[in-house]
Amino acid sequence: MSLTVHLLHEPPEPALNQLRSELQPGVTLTFGDALVEQPQYEVLVAARAEREHLEASPVLRALIIPFAGLPHETRALLGDFPHLTVHNLHHNAGAVAEMTIALLLAAAKSILPCDRALRRHDWRPRYASNPAILLEGRTALILGYGAIGRRVACLCRGLGMDVIATRRRATGAGSESVYPPETLWDLLPRADVLIVTLPLTAETEGLIGHAELALLPPTSVLVNVGRGPVVDEEALYHALQYGTVHAAGLDVWYAYPSDEHSRMHTPPSGFPFHELDNVVMSPHRAGGGGSVEVEKNRMAHLARLLNAAAAGLEIPDRVDIEAGY
């Protein structure tokens, strides 16, 4: 049992030591963007592989993207490499699910406006009309029922909610009802909570627009931890501004800093979401990148895929290149 694996970026020492401790004997690791002469790696681990990385090794058979999703540029490039299989890591599904519920509760209970008021020693929100939404007994509609969506469903049930979901390949699963994407318009009027965990593809971009938001109950809460443009930017802003949607918790956005200098002054949207009291804003940190626990999970998941490849087994978590996830 032997396998040569090239990691485009070498993990920090603690993570690397953990990875090596969990790999089966016979798995050899190499590192770095500068490829050695005549490389012979069979698996490439890269967030955003370039053509030269895919062409360098004549025995390359699999690409592992060390997170969930398929970057657009990688997807376009893979058309020239039909023999390669592509795989994701779903190591952070638990972290994203937890943040989803945090955003949901903060938005549904109007926590941030009350927090800001009490920091000013202002107790008036306690005696005013309470905008909080009771979640127990309500219905959550989860768009995207993969590793993250299933974790979110478990947590929603723990809050006493009913769960329905859409999935590209719809099947019944436990106590949830899972439906195909084309039933979306029938499901939206039932959704007291709409949770988006979808990747961004040609099919999902703008999936939730003016018409779809208008179908939601006026007391609905929307949470997006998938990709910002799955929900139309203008439509969402106006729905929140005018009360078509009661509140939202957003971890993913429409504009991101282009470099380190711009990280201190880049608006996440062309619309002033920051002026709305019914929005909870998070800077795309649900996945927990950089945290010790999440990096440990990443190495454990990577080891599982590499050990399967070394044993000649089917590598888990294969990505459908045509669908984009």
Please check whether residues 34 and 182 belong to one and the same domain.
no
Please check whether residues 176 and 83 belong to one and the same domain.
no
Number of domains in the chain: 2
Residue 300, Ramachandran bin (φ over 0: left; ψ between -120 and 50: alpha; else beta): alpha
Please check whether residues 56 and 121 belong to one and the same domain.
no
Q: The tokens of 167 are what?
A: 């999935």
Please check whether residues 188 and 304 belong to one and the same domain.
no
Please check whether residues 21 and 140 belong to one and the same domain.
no
DSSP per-residue codes, 147-202? HHHHHHHHHHHHTT-EEEEE-SS---BTTBEEE-GGGHHHHGGG-SEEEE-----T
Please check whether residues 175 and 268 belong to one and the same domain.
yes
Please check whether residues 114 and 44 belong to one and the same domain.
no
Within-domain flag for 315: no
Cβ within 8 Å of residue 191, ≥6 positions away: 139, 140, 141, 164, 216, 217, 220
**In this structure, are residues 273 and 238 in contact, taking their beta carbons and an 8 Å threshold?**
no
DSSP state of 231: B
Please check whether residues 47 and 115 belong to one and the same domain.
no
Please check whether residues 57 and 121 belong to one and the same domain.
no
Please check whether residues 130 and 13 belong to one and the same domain.
no
Render pLDDT for 237-278 as a digit per residue (tens, 0 to 9).
Answer: 999 999 999 999 999 999 999 999 999 999 999 999 999 999
Please check whether residues 277 and 301 belong to one and the same domain.
no
Domain at 11, CATH number: 3.40.50.720
Residue ranges making up the domain that contains 139? 93-281
pLDDT per position in the chain (325 positions), as tens? 789 999 999 988 888 999 999 999 999 999 988 777 788 999 999 999 999 999 999 999 999 999 888 888 999 999 999 999 999 999 999 999 999 999 999 999 999 999 999 999 999 999 999 999 999 999 999 999 999 999 999 999 999 999 999 998 765 544 559 999 999 999 999 999 999 999 999 899 999 999 999 999 999 999 999 999 999 999 999 999 999 999 999 999 999 999 999 999 999 999 999 999 999 999 999 987 767 888 889 999 999 999 999 999 999 999 998 887 8
Q: What is the pTM of this model?
A: 0.90
Please check whether residues 118 and 262 belong to one and the same domain.
yes
